[in-house]
Amino acid sequence: MTPRNPAPTPNDYAAYPDASGRFGDYGGRYVPETLMPLVHELDAAYAAAKADEGFRAELAGYLKHYVGRPSPLYFAARLTAHFGGAKIYLKREELNHTGSHKINNCMGQILLAMRMGKTRIIAETGAGQHGVATATVCARFGLPCVVYMGAVDVERQKPNVFRMNLLGAEVRPVTAGSATLKDAMNEALRDWVTNVHDTYYLIGTAAGMHPYPAMVRDFQSVIGVEAREQIMEMEGRLPDAVVACVGGGSNAIGLFHPFLNDEGVRLYGVEAAGEGMDTERHAAAINGGRPGVLHGNMTYLLQDQEGQITEAHSISAGLDYPGIGPEHAWLHDVGRATYLTATDLESLEAFKLCAELEGILPAIESAHALARLGDVAKEVGKDGIVVLNLSGRGDKDVATVAAHLGMQI
């Protein structure tokens, strides 16, 4: 592949994507022609909204009064003492309404959908966190909502299915393919291509066709913008490292993006290693995959030698996806961010540690970031500061955790 963008100069990492939706070689708009006019329409509508002070003020108002922003930046004294390295701060996204960072993006996109005159919302969900957040904003604004969810995920995330139903959303189980998140995304795309006239596809992660990766990142960047201000206020300087779990990568890119041009801030993403990187049962697209095209973008993918997409495996339904957002793929290639991995078992240990030391049940997704926190804290050292994105709360995961600990609840 020939790079479409020149090598970035040190201070313009934040200038991507280009007009064709590329982060270096990654991203793009690999969608059927039927959708292409809509993708252009969305691109234009988002650009106009982004430039509109009224839109930004409306979104900020809802984020403050409905979502509960800003989320706290919390000094985790006992985790800090436990690891014996850098000072550890947790960005408390799990305290948002609906319990994760997902609502930041949903609020932005639903306001955009209404601005575009769309009257029906569809979404895909894995763990159900994005589905719940989408159902929530649809209820708030009175729009019908259909959520596609892999039949396997419907089974393992029943409480979230019930939550979505309570919020008035229709959950459609997807039995095609491997019946998980990637198949839910296929089915949502099939719905969109069939109902182009009135439907808005509210994608939950910073992946898919342009402009979604850039748009979702922008809506999630509130995480990093706040964290930057908060750490300056509390410590008077920037952190040495920031850490977040990565599936599609929306919470990570939301934290990373406002720090991209601060070269002293190391960026760590943590992919799900499932049963181990030496097995085929993991969900680490960067560490265990190679570039390809799926769901509208060129990015790292889990795939076989012939380019068939292989199934991802993770204890965390929210990280159980065979791809990753294109901006992460690019940040990896240019070396600006480092992508580590954590296994199911390591994440379970980190889940327990965070509960016992800080009184916080982290989402099993966020526990992947916590699993590498000790390493990062040690590497940064005693005088350093690390900010970890606690992207969601773990109440939804207690049944999974109990099962893995051999307990019945």
Partner 1 sequence: MTTARIDARFAALRAEGRAAFIPYVMAGDPDYATSLTILKGLPGAGADLIELGFPFSDPMAEGPPIQRAALRALSKGMTLTKTLQMVAEFRETDQDTPIVLMGYANPLVTRGFATFARDAAAAGADGLIVVDIPPEEADPLADALEAQGLSLLLLSTPTSDDARLKVIQRRTSGFAYYVSVAGVTGVKEANAQAVAPAVERVRKASGLPVAVGFGIRTPERAAEIARVADGAVVGSALVDEVAEAVDMNEDVTLRVLSKVESLAKAVRSARLASAGTGNAARA
Q: What's the closest the beta carbon of residue 177 comes to partner 1, in angstroms? A: 7
DSSP output for 208-230: SSTTHHHHHHHHHTHHHHHHHHH
For the bound state, the minimum distance from the C-beta of residue 331 to partner 1, rounded and expressed in Å, comes to 21
Per the annotation, the verdict on 102 as an active-site residue is yes
Phi, psi for 314 (deg, rounded to 5): -155, 150
- What is the smallest separation between the CB atom of 90 and partner 1, expressed in angstroms? 36
Query: Per CB under 8 A, which of residues 76..115 are in contact with partner 1?
Result: none
120 binds partner 1 (CB under 8 A): no
Residue 333 is a binding residue for partner 1 (CB under 8 A): no
Among residues 91, 102, 118, 182, the one annotated as catalytic is 102
- Quote the CA–CA distance of 147 and 14 in Å, as a whole number: 32
Residues sharing a CB contact under 8 Å with residue 89, sequence separation 6 or more, in sequence order: 73, 74, 75, 76, 227, 231, 234, 239, 385, 386, 387, 388
Which ranges of 27-180 does DSSP label H, i.e. alpha helix? 36-50, 53-62, 77-83, 102-115, 129-141, 151-156, 158-166
User: Can you tell me the distance from the alpha carbon of 108 to that of 200, in angstroms, rounded to the nearest whole number?
Assistant: 13
What token pair was written down for 406? 């051999």
Please identify which of the residues 93, 124, 271, 365 carries the catalytic annotation.
124
Closest of 84, 91, 73, 92 to residue 377, by C-alpha = 84
Instruction: Based on the shown chain and the rule CB under 8 A, indicate whether residue 137 belongs to the binding site for partner 1.
Output: no
Cβ 146 to partner 1, closest distance in Å?
A: 16
**Residue 277 lies near partner 1 (rule: CB under 8 A):** no
| Tokens matching residue 31 | 């969608």
CB of 296 to partner 1, least distance (A): 7
306 binds partner 1 (CB under 8 A): yes
Sheet of 145-150, strands arranged across: 170-174, 145-150, 120-125, 199-201
408 belongs to the binding site for partner 1 (CB under 8 A): no
Nearer to partner 1, 35 or 246 (CB): 35
Reading the block at residue 377, the tokens are 């804290």
Mode of pairing for the β-strands spanning 296-301 and 290-294: antiparallel
Q: Should residue 32 be labelled a site residue for partner 1 when binding is judged by CB under 8 A?
A: yes
Maximal CA-CA distance, the chain: 57
Residue 45 found at the interface with partner 1 (CB under 8 A): no
Map the footprint of partner 1 across residues 54-83, applying CB under 8 A. none
The Cβ-side half-sphere exposure at 198, using a 13 Å CA radius, reads 5
Distances in whole angstroms, Cα of residue 196 to Cα of each of 121, 191, 298: 11, 8, 23
- Two tokens at 90? 């947790």
- Using CB under 8 A as the binding rule, whether residue 117 contacts partner 1 is answered as no
- Applying CB under 8 A, the span of 26-34, 93-101, 102-110, 250-258 interacting with partner 1 comes to 26-34
Residue 44 near partner 1 by CB under 8 A = no
Determine the Cα angle at 223 with ends 384 and 286, to 5°: 75
Q: Which stretch binds partner 1 (CB under 8 A): 24-32, 128-136, 230-238, 349-357?
A: 24-32
Q: Does 296 engage in binding with partner 1 (CB under 8 A)?
A: yes
Is 367 in contact with 358 (CB distance < 8 Å)? no
CA atoms of 146 and 384, how far apart (whole Å): 46
* Stretch touching partner 1 by CB under 8 A, among 153-161, 212-220, 308-316, 398-406: 308-316
Shortest Cβ 164–partner 1 spacing (Å): 23
To partner 1, the closest distance from the beta carbon of 37 in angstroms equals 5
Question: In the range 172-211, which residues lie near partner 1 by CB under 8 A?
Answer: 176-177, 182-183, 186, 189-190, 193-194, 196-197
| Residue 291 in the binding site for partner 1 (CB under 8 A) | yes
Cβ nearer to partner 1, comparing 261 with 310: 310
If the CB atoms of residues 239 and 292 are measured against partner 1, the closer one turns out to be 292
Q: How many CA atoms lie within 13 A of 122 on its CB side?
A: 20
Check binding of 37 to partner 1 (CB under 8 A). yes
Q: Could you say whether residue 381 binds partner 1 (CB under 8 A)?
A: no
> How near is the Cβ of 151 to partner 1 at its closest, in Å?
14
- Residues in contact with partner 1 by CB under 8 A are 20, 28-38, 176-177, 182-183, 186, 189-190, 193-194, 196-197, 291-296, 298, 301, 303, 305-310
Active site residues: 102, 124, 391
